[in-house]
Amino acid sequence: MSSLSLSLTRPSVLAARRTAFGQIVRNEARLVRRQPTNMIGSIGLPVVLMIIFGEVPTLNRPASELGGLTGFDTYVPVIMVLGLTMLALLGLPGPLVSYRELGILRRLSTTPVPPSWLLAAQVVVQLGVALAGLMIVNVVSVAAFGAPVPKSPAGLALSCLLAIGGLFALGLLIAALAPTANSVNAIGRLAFIPLMFFAGLWLPRALMPAALLQISNYTPLGAAVQAIQGSMQTGFPPAAPLLVLAAYTLVFAFLARRFFRWE
Amino acid sequence: MTTSLERLEAPAAAGVRPAVEVAHLRKTYGTLVAVDDVSFSVAEGEIFGILGPNGAGKTTAIECAIGLRQPDAGTIRLLGLDPRADRDKVHEIVGVQLQAGALPGKLRVGEILEEYRSFYRDPGDVGELLEVLGLAGKRGDFYRSLSGGQRQRLSVALALIGRPRIAVLDEMTTGLDPKARRDTWELIEGIRGRGVTVLLVTHFMEEAERLCDRVALIDSGRVVALDTPASLAAQARGGKSVRFLPSAPFDEDLLTGLPQVARLEHQGQHVVVTGTGELVNAVILTLAAAGVTARDVQLDSSNLEDAFVKLTGRNPDKEGALA
């Protein structure tokens, strides 16, 4: 990632570099479109879950133990981070590790374009998928299932970006450490369960005992759900979960950069 | 076999400065010495071959030469540039095809080439390159649907799309059928015709004989011979030899006594005589004088492969089959 900096200054050269990056992004986007498995996991699965939860009567009555919210309302942020997690743990590192396995990163390091550009292009494309997924879940939850309109759209946007930051950095760390594309799957699936547990997939955060909730607050997905839920239901989220997400972003990104092997 | 110092130098007439200069290159991995001491110089417009058995250090030497690896010692210059210090400039003028590289299966041939084309300031034309490489009809095909030979040719195309001044090709025809191999040779001769210098790693002796102006034979991390393919083949022969079937038994001293004859051996019914000068005439005339006819006369036809076997003690084709 260190070679991402552009040392060229002439405008024509800069334009050429932009074209090269654009071409890489274009082909990466084509690959995502042609191999839709990860889009199904990160957009399709959340929408299906939402439809199922939206049809369960007990989840759609305001509950006193959830502070007057419906179960469905508390699940929307969980479903949002679930899509992001699928994408970050599998969709992002998978292609990068297979590019290393196929010798594509190595081939690129013999061209004027550094292999880090391919990594950056992959992040750009997956960011697009992530934002599309979040948008779809939000719009469907409000339009089709009567969830309340988010109280703080700015807070929601910031929370989502920081959640993406922390999770994508974790995905890059997996890409750095996983030796093969198959091992990305194994690592991703293994990490998915504890991460999603603290997000409240099986036990909503509102029902967690105090000690468990404290732990959850300091996990990437616990903090993400806390920030997203706050933005949706009360207003601009508290600083604590945002700082936790920012810290995860920095730490995972540092480690990913430290351990990434280009061949 | 000694390599005279003059042979290390590229022919002076071929170019002003060498396109590739490698001097006393050394690279170790822990205790393993991959490249011990390799020096060679390639003139602009030359096709230079690097031959050697598996594990001889060919690929490591090439990877150092193009800046993918940091050598432990030695200097490398590509058209005067240091491949690591002047990385950006070097990547613009050197096209590389490495061994065993694949590409995403669900990208089309044209899409891949357009992407790599955008990396260079003055790239070649995609359609023209596909035409020359016999991939013209494959532009819209997914990479995963290509045959091994077609993938290999696409890989060569990616090395050439930036219109490099030096092309480095590592085992470019491995896995190609004979027809595709000959087509690729024509392509290489064609790009040399445009003044491109070609550095070729190969284990096909026929390829080296057909294409290379000079070859360096590398074994155990050292250059054991460096010369034109024809000259190496001649050196390997160690003189001439003639093999024949005598019509009747004869006194061998008749032949071994000749000044032209160095050695006489039996191969079943056949006799092989090795020597120098007007060997064939001397042998046949002497036998005729003794009333013996030499039948089934065969002259030695040693080639680069014999040089390889003689210098490394290994068979290049078997090495290739294992690779």
B293-316 pLDDT, tens digit each:
888 888 765 667 777 777 777 666
Q: Closest Cα partner for A50 from A174, A162, A113, A139?
A: A139
The pLDDT of B14-31, averaged and rounded, is 82
Cα(B167)–Cα(B160) distance, rounded to whole angstroms?
Answer: 7
Taking every pair of C-alpha atoms in chain B, what is the biggest distance, in angstroms? Answer: 76
Cα(B236)–Cα(B225) distance, rounded to whole angstroms?
Answer: 11
SS3 B297: strand
Does A13 sit within 8 Å of B92, measured CB to CB? no
What pLDDT was estimated at residue A171? 96
Identify the band that residue A29 occupies on the pLDDT scale cut at 50, 70 and 90. Answer: very high
Question: Is A190 buried (19+), middle (13-18) or exposed (0-12) by CB count in 10 A?
Answer: exposed
Cα(B69)–Cα(A47) distance, rounded to whole angstroms?
Answer: 48
Contacts of B60 (CB under 8 A, 6+ apart): B27, B34, B35, B69
Pairing of strands B18-29, B32-43: antiparallel
What pLDDT was estimated at residue A100? 93
For residue B81, the 8-state DSSP code is: B
Cα(B275)–Cα(B149) distance, rounded to whole angstroms?
Answer: 44
What pLDDT was estimated at residue B317? 53
Which H or E run includes B132? helix B126-132
Contact yes or no for B234/B228 (Cβ under 8 A)? no
SS3 B16: coil
Note the pTM of the prediction, 2 decimals: 0.79
Tokens of B90: 């070097």
For residue A102, which residues of chain B lie inside 8 Å, CB to CB?
101-104
Q: Is the pLDDT of residue B164 over 90?
A: yes
Q: Closest Cα partner for A144 from A48, A78, A40?
A: A48
DSSP conformation letters of B190-201: HHHHTT-EEEEE
Q: Is the pLDDT of residue A5 over 70?
A: no
Amino acid at B217: L
Q: Is the pLDDT of residue B141 over 80?
A: yes
Mutating which of B115, B120, B142, B151 best tests the A interface, going by the most A Cβ atoms within 10 A?
B115
What pLDDT was estimated at residue A15? 67
Q: How near does any CA of chain A get to the CA of B208, in Å?
A: 24
Q: How near does any CA of chain A get to the CA of B1, in Å?
A: 36
What are the CA-CA distances from residue A63 to residues A57, A150, A225, B145, B269 (Å)? 12, 19, 19, 56, 104
What pLDDT was estimated at residue B239? 64
Cα(A89)–Cα(A70) distance, rounded to whole angstroms?
Answer: 29
pLDDT for B251-302, tens place per residue? 888 888 888 888 888 888 888 888 777 788 888 889 898 889 888 888 765 6
Mutating which of A7, A102, A111 best tests the B interface, going by the most B Cβ atoms within 10 A?
A111
What pLDDT was estimated at residue A87? 93
Cα(A174)–Cα(A187) distance, rounded to whole angstroms?
Answer: 8
For residue B10, the 8-state DSSP code is: P
For residue B94, which residues of chain A lie inside 8 Å, CB to CB?
110
What pLDDT was estimated at residue A11? 55
Tokens of B201: 């790693």
For residue B116, which residues of chain A lie inside 8 Å, CB to CB?
111
Q: Closest Cα partner for B55 from B237, B228, B312?
A: B312
Give chain A's contact residues with B (Cβ, < 8 Å): 7, 13, 16, 19-20, 22-24, 26-27, 30-31, 34-35, 95, 99, 102-104, 106-107, 109-113
Contact yes or no for B8/B39 (Cβ under 8 A)? yes
Length of chain A in terms of residues written: 263
More confidently predicted of A32 and B298? A32
Contact yes or no for B169/B199 (Cβ under 8 A)? yes
Identify the band that residue B322 occupies on the pLDDT scale cut at 50, 70 and 90. Answer: very low
Pairing of strands B47-51, B197-201: parallel
Q: Is the pLDDT of residue B177 over 60?
A: yes
For residue B173, the 8-state DSSP code is: T
Q: Is the pLDDT of residue A88 over 50?
A: yes
% of residues, chain A, pLDDT over 90: 64
What are the CA-CA distances from residue B170 to residues A134, B68, B306, B307 (Å)? 47, 14, 22, 21
Q: Closest Cα partner for B57 from B78, B82, B27?
A: B27
Q: Point out which residues pair with B274 in neighbouring strands.
A: B241, B263
Length of chain B in terms of residues written: 323
pLDDT for B43-70, tens place per residue? 999 999 998 887 788 888 999 999 888 9
Of B88, B107, B118, the CB nearest to A20: B118
Cα(B160)–Cα(B123) distance, rounded to whole angstroms?
Answer: 9
More confidently predicted of B263 and A216? A216
For residue B259, the 8-state DSSP code is: T
Question: B171-176: long-range contacts (C-beta < 8 A, 24 or more apart)?
Answer: B171/B99, B171/B201, B171/B202, B171/B203, B171/B323, B172/B97, B172/B200, B172/B202, B173/B202, B173/B204, B173/B207, B174/B99, B174/B203, B174/B320, B174/B323, B175/B148, B175/B149, B176/B148, B176/B149, B176/B152
Identify the band that residue A94 occupies on the pLDDT scale cut at 50, 70 and 90. Answer: very high
Q: How near does any CA of chain B get to the CA of A142, in Å?
A: 37
SS3 B43: strand
Alpha carbon B75 to its chain's center:
23
Contact yes or no for B319/B53 (Cβ under 8 A)? yes
Tokens of B265: 């051996």
For residue A116, which residues of chain B lie inside 8 Å, CB to CB?
none
Identify the band that residue B238 occupies on the pLDDT scale cut at 50, 70 and 90. Answer: low
For chain A, the average pLDDT equals 88
Cα(A253)–Cα(A2) distance, rounded to whole angstroms?
Answer: 12
Q: Is the pLDDT of residue B240 over 80?
A: no
Which of A2-6, A176-180, B137-141 is the least confident region?
A2-6
% of residues, chain B, pLDDT over 70: 89
pLDDT for A114-144, tens place per residue? 999 999 999 999 999 999 999 999 999 888 8
Contact yes or no for B71/B64 (Cβ under 8 A)? yes
Cα(A28)–Cα(A94) distance, rounded to whole angstroms?
Answer: 13
SS3 B26: strand
What are the CA-CA distances from residue B66 to residues A106, B85, B92, B130, B174 (Å)? 12, 11, 12, 25, 21
DSSP conformation letters of chain A: -GGGS-----HHHHHHHHHHHHHHHHHHHHHHHHSTHHHIIIIIHHHHHHHHHHH-GGGGSB-GGGTT-BHHHHHHHHHHHHHHHHIIIIITHHHHHHHHHTTHHHHHTTSSS-THHHHHHHHHHHHHHHHHHHHHHHHHHHHHH-PPPPS-HHHHHHHHHHHHHHHHHHHHHHHHH-SSHHHHHHHHHHHHHHHHHHHTSSS-GGGS-HHHHHHHHTSHHHHHHHHHHHHHHTSSPPHHHHHHHHHHHHHHHHHHHHH----
